Amino acid sequence: MSNYYGNNNIVEKAIKCLGKGFDLTCDFRLKYCKGDERLVLLNENVTKELMVPGFGAFDNIPIDIKCDKGDRVRFQSDILDFNQMSEYINRRSSVPGKIPSGVFNSMFGFESGSWATDAANTKYLGLDGYFIILFDVHIDRYSLVLDDQVINDVPSTWDPAALARFIEKYGTHIIVGLSIGGQDVVLLRQDKSSNMEPSQLKNHLDELGDQLFTGICNFSPHQCKSREQKHKALEAFNVFDPQPNIFSSFPSATTKNGVTVICSKRGGDLTANTHSEWLLTVPSMPDAIAFSFIPITSLLKGVPGKGFLSHAINLYLRYKPPIADLQYFLDFQAHKIWAPVHNDLPLGPTTNRSIRPPALHFNLMGPKLYVNPTQVIIGKTPVTGMRLYLEGVKCDRLAIHLQHLINTPILLQDKIDDPLTWRGSEDTPNDRYFEAIQWKKFSHPTFIAYIYAQEGYYYEQELREIIQGEEEAYISTLAKMSRFFPMNGGDAAYSYSKYSQIQREVLDGAKEMVRDVIVEKLDIKSLLLSSSNTFHITDLGCSIGPNTFSSMQHVVEAVKDKYHNNQELTNSTNNIPEFQIFFNDHITNDFNTLFRSLPVDRSYYATGVPGSFHGRLFPSRSIHFAHCSCAIHWLSKCPEELLDERSPAWNKGLIHYVGASNIEVFNAYVAQFEKDMEVFLNARAEEIVPGGMMVLISPFSGYRYLNFFGYSLMDLVNEGMLDESLVDSFNVPVYFPSPEDMIKVVERNECFSIERIELTYPQSKLVDEADAKSFMINLRAVLERVFINHFGSKIAEETFARTILKSEEISALMKADYEKACQLFISLKRK
């Protein structure tokens, strides 16, 4: 085949660049490819003659490389905001996400190096371009395999120097496709000082593109000057004024009144005066105008250190430090912890009651806000954050916590030699450390939870509300990640009120056992005769119904039957007892939906009690019967050692103890469950009257389904859509106790006797694929807030969608589960 264009050098360059590494922070040019060798293995032993349209035949080309004919197209974008345009430019290169790439910054002239700064200063962006693709070359081999040398160079630990060397040597991505030709584009950037509407910008940009690319110019310097008073903002679009750099090899930029118009060419003769002249030069002077990439880390499945490298690359792409400084930048991105750690915080008062901490007391009869004077000492590690924190069971002890790096960065290790000494405000005679409180102007402080919601994240701020006359002032601590993850509220798609059939199956399967316990074990006579005629019941972890209403009505009817069947009790009192039910769940539970859904014909008084059941909720000896279904398996928090890469219990690549070969992971879950149950039982021992009862119902084998969510997350990691470090830092905070677990914690507590404990079967069997889909949708209603809180709404949505597609596998597992007991029932009596 003859060579139409007479430029074979560009073809050879493009083919050699396929499979090489590339740094996505650079402009997309062939000269920035990393090294001389490919990072992936191609079949070099079997070659072929590759026909390149317009350039002829090329011999000895690996069979895994293919070539396609290109096309000519004009593309006109909408007027987009910063992140939308960045995402579009990334999508053209098969790169997910909206982190600005090097080519994006180069195209639009962003030079600050700060994503946040550029996005904050930019109002809108637009693009109108003419793209001539002479041919595409790409690797046609799946799946790709990395060269052993690349794999061996992956640091297996968080080693900033080694990670920086890897990125500098190999880049962040691998080139798998190239488009060769030329492009002539007009780019628009509007900053926040401009008030021009997007529709106006779009019209002017389209008009300018028409004039440039058709070769017909309706603008002239004289015409623009005659309209200067009317359309001053349009001066930026007058790119036809004679300027020294308009037709040079560099992009030209015209800026007026907050609008910048950039004209840029790549490929062809960059000094051509018009678009039509430039078109004729593209075949003889082509360039690479489009790249396709895959992340290097997507090919490191099962390689030790993949998570560290993935995290380092993501930080590098996001913040773009100079490559020479990358080692020091990564050195300061090590794991951070708060001091003191949660395990060191006492939940109750100290045993030495003679030493009372200082307190703010706003009212003689009101509560006190204690101040923790304990020194926070972190050694020679840099401080990265500070927060005010309300400690204690009642959240009434104000303390200062410090966030710091676990290790001192190498850059500072030889610069911190001085011995550490404590220096407090009491050692410095300075009035600015002290401020008098005007006691008489304040009421008493109350503690409330303030929920701040942002897409993908839920925060809880503990606030001290101080009432001063008609004014309300709020003193807030720094935001901390909420540990409260209620079920999906409301009645929208995937709400718990619509999708809680699985929990209903658990309740229905235990109904008769609950009734038997009340009839056979509850001493209603002594309970009613020793108190008022009101029988107090609580449902712990009630969520938003309708299951809680059904279970509570069942308890009420069983107690009534017990009362009517006790002739002695009926003769001794004239009135049937009244019932008051306390519906309890976390403060972030949708209590509005709960109380809107209350049955009209209910035979009890309803009260909401927000708060965690891992602590006190009710006055001493006030509850006669406590009920808790599908709730005690939720831990108060995820075991911290699962997230510490230095810990033997680090649960890398998994989201639960299921499937973890490391026994330390399982032990960490067990230890957290035992701590939580100790607090739970101690609180209930204070609240339940002697002789009162508590029923606990928990799933026993449902934990196995969590694996499927983990599989879906790792699929996203392998496809480059999710950073593996996010999976490594996530564990579902649930532990499904066995009968042995419950016996152990109850016997250790010594406040309750076990009246009945057994594994039971659900009322019906869900075994086919449709049931499996329904089951996973139910789990979504339960778990979605947990996933959104950590991964964001988009990743959570993709994870659940992919997991439901695994319904055939899930169905087989469900069938095995329903052939054996899979829920735990235990009834306890207060001694």
Segment 565-600, tens digit of pLDDT? 776 665 555 567 889 999 998 887 888 888 888 888
Amino acid at 93: S
Tokens, residue 669: 């879950």
Closest CA to 645 of 724, 703, 706: 724
Give the separation between CA 809 and CA 459, rounded to whole angstroms. 36
299-to-7, 35, 420, 691 alpha-carbon distances in Å: 34, 19, 46, 62
Beta-bridge partner residues of 628 = 696
SS (H, E, C) 698-713: EECCHHHHHHHHHHHH
- Do 223 and 281 share a domain, yes or no? yes
Q: What is the mean pLDDT of residues 530-549?
A: 83
DSSP character for 101? P
- Do 645 and 765 share a domain, yes or no? yes
What does the pLDDT read at residue 820? Answer: 54
Whether 808 contacts 732, CB under 8 Å = no
What does the pLDDT read at residue 505? Answer: 73
Q: Which residues contact 683 (CB under 8 A, 6 or more apart)?
A: 613, 614, 615, 616, 617
Give the separation between CA 518 and CA 695, rounded to whole angstroms. 10
The backbone torsions φ and ψ at residue 812, rounded to the nearest 5 degrees and listed phi first, read -65, -40
- Do 443 and 569 share a domain, yes or no? no
Amino acid at 389: Y
Q: What is the mean pLDDT of residues 736-743?
A: 89
Whether 296 contacts 171, CB under 8 Å = yes
Q: Is 236 inside any structural domain?
A: yes
pLDDT at 686 over 90: yes
What does the pLDDT read at residue 452? Answer: 34
> What is the pLDDT confidence band of residue 410, given thresholds at 50, 70 and 90?
confident
**Which segments within 272-393 are labelled E, that is strand?**
287-295, 336-339, 359-361, 368-371, 383-391
- Do 399 and 535 share a domain, yes or no? no
Q: Which residues contact 356 (CB under 8 A, 6 or more apart)?
A: none
Q: At what angle do helices 663-687 and 739-749 cross, to 10 degrees?
A: 50
Q: What is the mean pLDDT of residues 124-130?
A: 93
> What is the pLDDT confidence band of residue 21, given thresholds at 50, 70 and 90?
very high
Tokens, residue 781: 């209603």
Highest mean pLDDT among 6-10, 284-288, 736-740: 284-288
What does the pLDDT read at residue 646? Answer: 80
The residue from 453, 481, 509 where one domain ends is 481
Helices (H), 401-500: 410-413
Tell me the helix, strand and coil percentages in the chain, rounded to 5. Answer: 35, 25, 40
Q: Is 743 inside any structural domain?
A: yes
Q: Is 708 inside any structural domain?
A: yes
pTM more than 0.85: no
Q: For strand 823-830 and strand 72-76, is the pairing parallel, antiparallel, or unpaired?
A: unpaired
- Do 683 and 800 share a domain, yes or no? yes
pLDDT at 177 over 80: yes
- Do 786 and 819 share a domain, yes or no? yes
Q: What is the mean pLDDT of residues 593-609?
A: 88
pLDDT at 235 over 90: no
Three-state DSSP at 230 gives: coil
- Do 731 and 583 share a domain, yes or no? yes
Highest mean pLDDT among 280-294, 705-719, 783-797: 280-294
Q: What is the mean pLDDT of residues 255-260?
A: 85
Q: Is 496 inside any structural domain?
A: no
Q: Which residue has the higher pLDDT, 29 or 451?
A: 29
Give the separation between CA 478 and CA 389, rounded to whole angstroms. 8
What does the pLDDT read at residue 700? Answer: 66
Beta-bridge partner residues of 754 = 828
Q: Is 156 inside any structural domain?
A: yes
Q: Is 495 inside any structural domain?
A: no
pLDDT at 34 over 50: yes
What does the pLDDT read at residue 90? Answer: 92
Closest CA to 233 of 219, 254, 207: 254
The backbone torsions φ and ψ at residue 814, rounded to the nearest 5 degrees and listed phi first, read -65, -40
Of 10-14, 40-44, 83-87, 426-430, which gets the smallest average pLDDT? Answer: 426-430
**Domain range for residue 362?**
336-412+437-481
Domain count within the chain: 3
pLDDT tens, residue by residue, 323-371: 999 998 988 887 777 888 755 555 555 445 556 678 877 666 667 788 8
Structure-token match 């890398």, residue found = 652
Give residue 494's region: left, alpha or beta (phi > 0; psi -120 to 50): left
- Judged on CB neighbours under 10 Å (0-12, 13-18, 19+), 531 is middle
**Which segments within 426-542 are labelled E, that is strand?**
446-454, 457-468, 471-476, 480-481, 534-540
What does the pLDDT read at residue 466? Answer: 29
Q: What CATH number is attached to the domain comprising 693?
A: 3.40.50.150
Structure-token match 């492009």, residue found = 183
Rounded to the nearest integer, the mean pLDDT of the chain is 79
Helix and strand totals (H; E) in the chain: 24, 26
Can you give the C-alpha Rg of the chain in angstroms?
34
Rounded percentage of the chain residues whose pLDDT exceeds 70: 76
Give the separation between CA 20 and CA 32, rounded to whole angstroms. 10
Rounded percentage of the chain residues whose pLDDT exceeds 90: 31
Q: What is the mean pLDDT of residues 10-17?
A: 93
Q: For strand 397-405 and strand 368-371, is the pairing parallel, antiparallel, or unpaired?
A: parallel
Of 93-102, 224-233, 315-324, 376-385, which gets the smallest average pLDDT? Answer: 224-233
| DSSP labels, 311-342 | HHHHHHHHH---GGGHHHHHHTTS-EEEES-G
- Do 462 and 507 share a domain, yes or no? no
> What is the pLDDT confidence band of residue 222, given thresholds at 50, 70 and 90?
very low
What does the pLDDT read at residue 230? Answer: 41
What does the pLDDT read at residue 250? Answer: 55
- Do 656 and 763 share a domain, yes or no? yes
The backbone torsions φ and ψ at residue 629, rounded to the nearest 5 degrees and listed phi first, read -125, 135
| Alpha-carbon dihedral 474, 479, 484, 489, rounded to 10 degrees | 70
Q: Which residue has the higher pLDDT, 797 or 67?
A: 67
The backbone torsions φ and ψ at residue 726, rounded to the nearest 5 degrees and listed phi first, read -70, -35
What does the pLDDT read at residue 8? Answer: 74
Of 471-475, 765-769, 798-802, which gets the smallest average pLDDT? Answer: 471-475
Closest CA to 764 of 467, 506, 493: 506
DSSP character for 54? T
- Do 302 and 369 share a domain, yes or no? no
Q: What is the mean pLDDT of residues 381-402?
A: 82
Q: Is 564 inside any structural domain?
A: yes
Give the separation between CA 369 and CA 468, rounded to whole angstroms. 16
- Do 323 and 402 share a domain, yes or no? no
Highest mean pLDDT among 143-147, 364-368, 488-492: 143-147
The residue from 450, 481, 512 where one domain ends is 481
Q: Is 425 inside any structural domain?
A: no
pLDDT at 454 over 50: no
Amino acid at 621: R
The residue from 293, 310, 331 where one domain ends is 331
pLDDT at 146 over 90: yes
- Cis check: omega of the bond before 143, within 30 degrees of 0: yes
- Do 808 and 795 share a domain, yes or no? yes
Structure-token match 């694929």, residue found = 769
DSSP character for 692? E
Q: At what angle do helices 501-521 and 547-564 cross, to 10 degrees?
A: 20
pLDDT at 494 over 50: yes
